Amino acid sequence: MSANTSRLKRFGALLGQSLLFLVTSLSTLTVFFIFYFIARDAVPFFKLEGFREFFTSSSWYPTGHPAEFGARAIFFGTGIVTLGAVVVAVPLGVSAAVCLSDVLPFNVRQVVKPVIEILAAIPSVAYGFFALVVFAPLLQNKGGAVLAIGAWLILAPVLALLVVVVSDLTADRFSDLMRHKVRWILILLLGGAALAGMIALGRHLNSIEIISGANALNVAVILGIMALPTVVSVSEDALQATGRELREGSYALGATRAETILKTVIPASISGILAAVILGIMRAIGETMVVWMASGNAARIPEPWYNMLEPVRTLTATIAGDMGEADHVTGSARFHVLFAMALCLLAFSFIMNLVSEGIVRHSRKKLGK
């Protein structure tokens, strides 16, 4: 009886492990099948048209005679929009994470963090409507003023924090009697210089006229807002994972709060912050509805190339916009080129996911977890 019971237990354990392994493997198999089916329809395009025109030409005329499938401008549009979103999301997200982990009281943090994470629950089509109906007309009619106000809202707190930190670090090199006076002198000098620079920048931005509100800047700002919850949440978790012992040790050695954050906490959690940045990039690069509705969908490289005030086109918007028209000509180059774009996008996302996973593992090993 005991032998039969032991066999039944081993069989039940083996069956349970097999079922759990099968459930776990389903996601991996799904990813492989997605890769297979996309690659299956992408390879015929490269056989028909080759690689050179697709990656080096900016002539995108899929309905022309003859058709041209140069996707360089579309890759560039994806890159510049993603870079703009990173510029918006990373400084604000990391600053908010530092504020949540080391500045705000615990009770306030318990309220603020869920509010920030609510941004992730808003449907992307709602962001797209806001970008198209509200933000695009605002940029087109009052673009210079919007740019000036945006620069003040973003740069003013950053510069103020930088002035305080630099003056604090510099004043600590003086004696106790001179430290307080030196700190205030540096704050006045650096603050005055920063204020003068901000005024000059605001006047320059206020004189800019924007022809179309559906442009790369519009999409970059909205994508940056959409990526904020990811950057804030992952960065804050990484900062919290460093533990109170590290902070208390820094304070015990005489470091200020600014020195502790900049020289101890952030360097110790830099791997987690980098993982948050990569996840934010993936969130921005894979977005479809916002870029489809508010980017202008112009398959050309802006002049100059860094001009964010001109319309662009991205990979996701091209796939979503052209698939309906290309579907009735299944088997043609116009059909297969969309799968070629999807394969490039999927490969990039997969590589970035592997990089972020490697960074997180390195962070855990570094923290001894």
Chain-centroid distance of CA 107 in Å reads 28
Q: What is the pLDDT of residue 174?
A: 67
The Cα–Cα gap between 152 and 114 comes to 26
Instruction: State yes or no: pLDDT of 326 exceeds 60.
Output: no
User: Could you tell me whether strands 60-61 and 68-69 are parallel, antiparallel, or unpaired per DSSP bridges?
Assistant: antiparallel
The Cα–Cα gap between 267 and 155 comes to 23
Q: What is the pLDDT of residue 122?
A: 87
Specify the number of domains making up the chain: 1
Residue 257 counted as domain residue = yes
Instruction: State yes or no: pLDDT of 222 exceeds 90.
Output: yes
Q: Which of 178-182, 306-310, 321-325 has the highest mean pLDDT?
A: 306-310
Residue 286 counted as domain residue = yes
- Per the CB < 8 A criterion, the answer to whether 174 and 182 are in contact is yes
Q: What is the pLDDT of residue 76?
A: 93
Q: Which residue has the higher pLDDT, 186 or 301?
A: 301
- The region, left, alpha or beta by phi > 0 then psi within -120 to 50, assigned to residue 129 is alpha
Full DSSP string of 116-127: HHGGGGS-HHHH
Mean pLDDT value of segment 287-307: 88
Classify residue 66 by burial, with Cβ atoms within 10 Å: 0-12, 13-18, 19+: exposed
Residue 117 counted as domain residue = yes
Residue 311 counted as domain residue = yes
Angle value at C-alpha 240, between 261 and 122, nearest 5 degrees: 110
pTM of the model: 0.82
Of 38-47, 249-258, 298-307, minimum mean pLDDT range: 249-258
| DSSP label of 312 | B
Residue 188 counted as domain residue = yes
The Cα–Cα gap between 2 and 366 comes to 47
Instruction: State yes or no: pLDDT of 95 exceeds 90.
Output: no
Instruction: State yes or no: pLDDT of 368 exceeds 60.
Output: no
Under the banding of pLDDT at 50, 70 and 90, the label for residue 21 is confident
Q: What is the pLDDT of residue 82?
A: 92
Q: For the segment 233-257, what is each residue's pLDDT rounded down to a tens digit?
A: 888 888 888 888 888 888 888 887 7
Residue 46 counted as domain residue = yes
| DSSP label of 295 | S
Instruction: State yes or no: pLDDT of 303 exceeds 80.
Output: yes
The Cα–Cα gap between 53 and 64 comes to 15
Q: What is the pLDDT of residue 92?
A: 85
Under the banding of pLDDT at 50, 70 and 90, the label for residue 327 is low
CATH code of residue 45: 1.10.3720.10
Whole domain around residue 312: which residue ranges?
28-366
In the block, tokens 């933000």 appear at 135
Classify residue 29 by burial, with Cβ atoms within 10 Å: 0-12, 13-18, 19+: exposed
Of 36-45, 106-115, 359-368, minimum mean pLDDT range: 359-368
Residue 211 counted as domain residue = yes
- Per the CB < 8 A criterion, the answer to whether 142 and 210 are in contact is no
In the block, tokens 């969908």 appear at 297
Residue 20 counted as domain residue = no
SS3 content of the chain, % helix, strand, coil (to 5): 80, 0, 20
Q: What is the pLDDT of residue 344?
A: 92
Average of per-residue pLDDT values in the chain: 84
